[in-house]
Amino acid sequence: AQTVTQSQPEMSVQEAETVTLSCTYDTSENNYYLFWYKQPPSRQMILVIRQEAYKQQNATENRFSVNFQKAAKSFSLKISDSQLGDTAMYFCAFIRATGTASKLTFGTGTRLQVTL
Amino acid sequence: DAGVTQSPTHLIKTRGQHVTLRCSPISGHKSVSWYQQVLGQGPQFIFQYYEKEERGRGNFPDRFSARQFPNYSSELNVNALLLGDSALYLCASSRQGGRSPGATNEKLFFGSGTQLSVL
């Protein structure tokens, strides 16, 4: 079974600053995908960024980037130039490359507050 | 195009009752998945349906059941409600549902959920 751990229940960052959210996972699989999802007060889960485990290059999406360390089973999210609209719950998630496609395993989340 | 729509948005039930939650996927999406999100936790996988067939089931009791209709919409049913069933129930849709190799990474689109309160 896979587990995903987010050790930071809450984080706070000032507008325009940079913040890093941590995530570790445990799996015996070699092929898998990792995700960061954002859940604003509207409750809808929104995909922020995705990383394929077989790719060494870290994924980047505009102000969002990851630091993927496969050997350490670590997958952190860096948000640059934080904006008020980034305030939300952030969930790290894992999925196997084979098997049930939509069976994501989520962490417990990090609540991010962006302040003026 | 409309996103994933779920109904109702909020629901209050009492212990022992039955509840039906509904989900309409994005047009063209054939796979629907259901997740339960208890307050303070991440979502947990309940079911996935693709082309009206169950493709996966999470660790939930038999009180939970689901089905998918020919138009790819889906219902989640929960019988004999318990206080612990109080949660946000999220529906997600995707095009293929992992039917082809490498498709497990296809993008999931989530709805805004149904907040179920069991009193």
* pLDDT digit string, tens, across residues B33-87: 999 999 999 999 999 998 888 888 999 999 999 999 999 999 999 999 999 999 9
**A106 vs B103: CB contact, 8 Å cut-off?**
no
If one counts every other C-beta atom within 10 angstroms of the C-beta of residue A42, the result is 10
Chain A touched by B40 (CB under 8 Å): yes
Check if B24 contacts A (Cβ < 8 Å): no
Higher pLDDT, B7 or B103: B7
Contacts of A106 in chain B (CB under 8 A): 42-44
**Under 8 Å between Cβ of B43 and B37:** yes
pLDDT at B102 over 60: no
Q: Is pLDDT at B104 greater than 60 in this prediction?
A: no
The partner residue sitting opposite B55, judged by closest CB among A45, A97, A100, is A100
Q: What pLDDT shows up at residue B105? A: 58
* Exposed/middle/buried for residue B70 (C-beta within 10 Å: 0-12, 13-18, 19+): exposed
Contacts of A108 in chain B (CB under 8 A): 40-42
Mapping DSSP to helix (H, G, I), strand (E, B) and coil, where does residue B105 land? Answer: helix
Instruction: Give residues with Cβ within 8 angstroms of A114, minimum separation 6.
Output: A12, A13, A14, A15, A82, A83, A84, A85, A86, A87
- pLDDT above 70: residue A43: yes
Distance, in Å, from the CA atom of B117 to the CA atom of A109, rounded to the nearest integer, reads: 22
Mean pLDDT along residues A1-22: 96
Across the interface, which of A42, A45, A95 has its CB nearest the CB of B90? Answer: A45
The alpha-carbon gap from B79 to the nearest alpha carbon of chain A, in Å, equals 23
Q: Does B92 touch chain A (CB under 8 A)?
A: yes
Distance CA B38, CA B43 (A): 7
Q: Tell me the per-residue pLDDT of A56-92, one tens digit each, with 9 for 90 and over.
A: 899 999 999 999 999 999 999 999 999 999 999 999 9
Q: Report the distance separating Cα B85 and Cα B113, nearest Å.
A: 14
| Binary contact (A101, B103; C-beta < 8 A) | yes
Q: Is the pLDDT of residue B101 over 70?
A: no
- Residue reference for tokens 């009492």: B14
Is the minimum CB–CB distance between A107 and chain B shorter than 8 Å? yes
Residue A35 has pLDDT above 70, yes or no: yes
Determine, for residues B45 and A91 on separate chains, whether the beta-carbon distance falls below 8 Å: no
Q: Which two tokens stand for residue B112?
A: 């805004």
Sign of torsion, CA A2 A41 B7 B71?
Answer: negative
CA A81 to CA A18: how far, in whole Å? 6
Helices (H), chain A: none
Residues of A in contact with B88 (CB under 8 A): 43
Beta partners for residue A3, in sequence order: A26
| Mean pLDDT of all residues belonging to chain B | 91
Q: Are A44 and A112 in contact (CB under 8 A)?
A: no
